[in-house]
Structure 1
Amino acid sequence: MSVHESWRMDRFQELDQQLQALCAADSRLPDGQPELLVFVSAFYPMFDAWRDWDRVGAKLKKWRSESPDSAAQAIVEVMYWDSYAWYGRGGGYASSVPEAAWELFRERLAKASARLEESKAMAGNCPVWHSLNISTLINSGASRTKINSAYAEAVKAFPASQQVHFAMGRSMEVKWGANPGDFERFARQAVKLSQREEGDGLYARLFWSRDCNCDDALSFGRPGDPDWKTMKAGFEDLLQRYPDQIYNKNKFAAFACRANDRATYAKLRRELGDNIVEHLWPDSWKPEVCDREMAKSPAVAPAREKKFQGTRQT
């Protein structure tokens, strides 16, 4: 039974068993991401789409009363409060958010923090607890010292956890108070920590997690931008480990285009053929745009650090 079905039918014991199995195993999805993502991704989109906060809150209370020591209940409740906090804040820039919305945001994040703290003994043996803890600290505006301490504890237990590194990576972005270049240095360090299990692939995955279909889509050649040689090696490692994964190859090609690596792009594009995953390519650098751009001679090609024009927020 799927996670969605177990939740819909109030089969809480099955949810406990599903999370326990996913936390204990190092099983992977076809593209190499941890299968543990299946549990997390079952709830966040559902909460954001349904926005039935009272009904979900009542269901979580019922689950907790029936299974007070449930790690799965604690994890889902933390995700609930996190989603509810962002719902209260809204999606605008910080300067446009009313004080009342900030109050809702802080109050609900405080409930997520409290649930994390009281569930650490029963859920702290799962990497998803640590990734949620780091994310909640960042969202709550915790000190850099506190965030770093949480990350150090997490990687000591789970040095190769992609989700732990992804969560910490947010704190290394300029918009969260970091300096240009901090994220790139962090990515290199994360590769060292996860080398045995992940090889060089985490460098590519971390920058992939930062990419977007927006004006801040990744570029190459500016201070703080990814090093293409290192990213290319990371994607090559991913394709060696997961050779039939179209998602990884699409993203590799999309980055090769922006990095102005004609030879790599041409090879990947031939291999992809019609197997294009559109949402992995920014609007201003769709496959047909890259096909035309990469066919130009280097002398007339635009500078690779060119700022994207006309993209839309998604």
Structure 2
Amino acid sequence: MKNNLSLKVISFFALLFIMAGNAKLVYAEIQDGSIARVKLRKEVRALLHEEKFSELENMANKFRTEKTRFPDGGWKVHSFHAAFASHYYGWDELLGNLDKWMKMYPNSVTAKVAAGRAWVEYAWAARGGGYANTVKEEGWKLFEERTAKAYELVKNPPEDLSKDCVERYYVLLIIARAQGWDKHKYEALFKKAVSYEPSYYAYYLEKAYDLLPRWHGEKGDWQKFADEAVKLTPKSEGMGIYALILLKAWDLKEFTEFREPDISWQKMRQGFIDIERNYPNSPYMLNFFCRLACIASDKETAIELFKRIGDEPYTEAWQGRSNFYKWQKWAGMSE
């Protein structure tokens, strides 16, 4: 009897040892950040290519009703619809299959929003990404026709408002930017969007983008909005949206130094802390936070984060393992 008990105790601790040994491996394999988003978009595109419309409906309904998130807090329904901004199989197939989907599910808000997203991208394909004075007359004509088509698809909510989609408002916002809506009309739409779902990050990120000088903003507008956005999101989000807006602007090279007068690293730092509090299982966010702390010369914060990361970085967040080692050495965390 004693021997059996001893064996059970030994087996229990052996299991704990094995689990501890595998913990870093499992942690490193979590699909997070852009890796997770790319994977989901590929799955969605494949389902559309195979005309599996019922599976697309079920997937979107689940993401929408359950407000499903990625480990870093990003909404899966947003990445679901981002799949339709890609013409991986060609524009004819993409738009043709979306038409088939809408005919099979005529009351589906998901199908209409997906088609609206695709038509916006199709409009930009006609215009091109150059300055306005470089766009030919035919390009402008197609751009206007296609954005108008997108608007018709998403302008009205479904009869059953409980089945409306958060992404419908996002598509309307990107149409508003493309069509150059006046400030009052744009603000009315934005207020509707955030009142429908105040924690949908995409609304705030799109408005911040619209406020860049390259679009419809003046110098300093997007920075002011980053502060305003914090007041519009739920209190539980803390400074999270401030961090995400600055992260987008930094990625777009709107600023390169955290010492710029209208950029607050302390607010951004608090934003990452708040995001981590709400979404504690994101290796991508932990590693990206550490990387930005290094770039911002916040060695104290970086050291604490390096301690948590250990020797197994989430490489995607560092843009390569060599960057991780470089900053780890800078922080005095390696020989």
State the TM-score bracket (shorter-chain normalisation).
0.7 to 0.9
Q: Which residue of 2 aligns with 1:41?
A: 82
What SS does structure 1 have at the residue aligned with 2:233? helix
Q: In structure 2, do the counterparts of structure 1 residues 142 and 5 end up closer, same or farther at CA, with 3 Å as the change threshold?
A: same
What SS does structure 2 have at the residue aligned with 1:41? helix
Q: Which runs of 5+ in 1 are unaligned?
A: 296-314
Q: Which runs of structure 1 show a deviation greater than 6 angstroms over 4 or more consecutive aligned residues?
A: none
Encode CA deviations 1:157-202: one digit per residue, 9 max, x unaligned: 2111112222222122222232333222212222222233423212
Q: In structure 2, do the counterparts of structure 1 residues 146 and 68 end up closer, same or farther at CA, with 3 Å as the change threshold?
A: same
Q: In structure 2, do the counterparts of structure 1 residues 71 and 215 end up closer, same or farther at CA, with 3 Å as the change threshold?
A: closer
Amino acid at match of 1:107: E
Q: In structure 2, do the counterparts of structure 1 residues 157 and 118 end up closer, same or farther at CA, with 3 Å as the change threshold?
A: closer
Amino acid at match of 1:9: E
Equivalent residue in structure 2 for 1:18, among 52, 59, 70: 59
Amino acid at match of 1:145: H
Amino acid at match of 1:64: M
Equivalent residue in structure 1 for 2:247, among 203, 208, 216: 208
**Which fold has the larger relative contact order, with Cα–Cα distance below 8 Å and residues 6 or more apart in sequence?**
2
Equivalent residue in structure 2 for 1:86, among 124, 130, 136: 124
Q: Which runs of 5+ in 2 are unaligned?
A: 1-39
Q: In structure 2, do the counterparts of structure 1 residues 217 and 290 end up closer, same or farther at CA, with 3 Å as the change threshold?
A: farther
1:37-76 matches, within 5 Å, as 37-44=78-85, 47-50=86-89, 52-76=90-114
* Identical-residue share of aligned pairs (%): 27
| In 2, Cα distance between equivalents of 1:273 and 1:43 | 38
Query: Which one has a larger percent helix, Structure 1 or Structure 2?
Result: 2
Do the aligned partners of 1:180 and 1:223 also contact (CA within 8 Å) in 2?
no
RMSD: 2.8
Do the aligned partners of 1:246 and 1:275 also contact (CA within 8 Å) in 2?
no
Q: Which residue of 2 aligns with 1:30?
A: 71
| In 1, Cα distance between equivalents of 2:187 and 2:204 | 12
**Alignment of 1:235 onto 2:276:** no
TM-score (norm 2): 0.76
| In 1, Cα distance between equivalents of 2:133 and 2:316 | 29
**1:291 Cα deviation after fit:** 4.8
Amino acid at match of 2:136: P
| In 2, Cα distance between equivalents of 1:215 and 1:164 | 20
Encode CA deviations 1:67-120: one digit per residue, 9 max, x unaligned: 221111101101111121122222334444334333322221121112122455
**Alignment of 1:168 onto 2:207:** yes
| In 2, Cα distance between equivalents of 1:290 and 1:107 | 50
Equivalent residue in structure 1 for 2:186, among 144, 147, 170: 147
| In 1, Cα distance between equivalents of 2:179 and 2:312 | 41
**1:64 Cα deviation after fit:** 2.1
Q: Which moved more, 1:114-123 or 1:3-12?
A: 114-123
| In 2, Cα distance between equivalents of 1:270 and 1:94 | 49
| In 1, Cα distance between equivalents of 2:143 and 2:311 | 44
| In 2, Cα distance between equivalents of 1:139 and 1:77 | 16
What SS does structure 2 have at the residue aligned with 1:81? helix
TM-score (norm 1): 0.80
**Alignment of 1:263 onto 2:304:** no
| In 1, Cα distance between equivalents of 2:284 and 2:73 | 10
Q: Which moved more, 1:8-17 or 1:108-117?
A: 8-17
Q: Which moved more, 1:118-127 or 1:243-252?
A: 118-127
What SS does structure 1 have at the residue aligned with 2:55? helix
| In 2, Cα distance between equivalents of 1:94 and 1:223 | 31
Encode CA deviations 1:105-136: one digit per residue, 9 max, x unaligned: 22211211121224555688221111111111
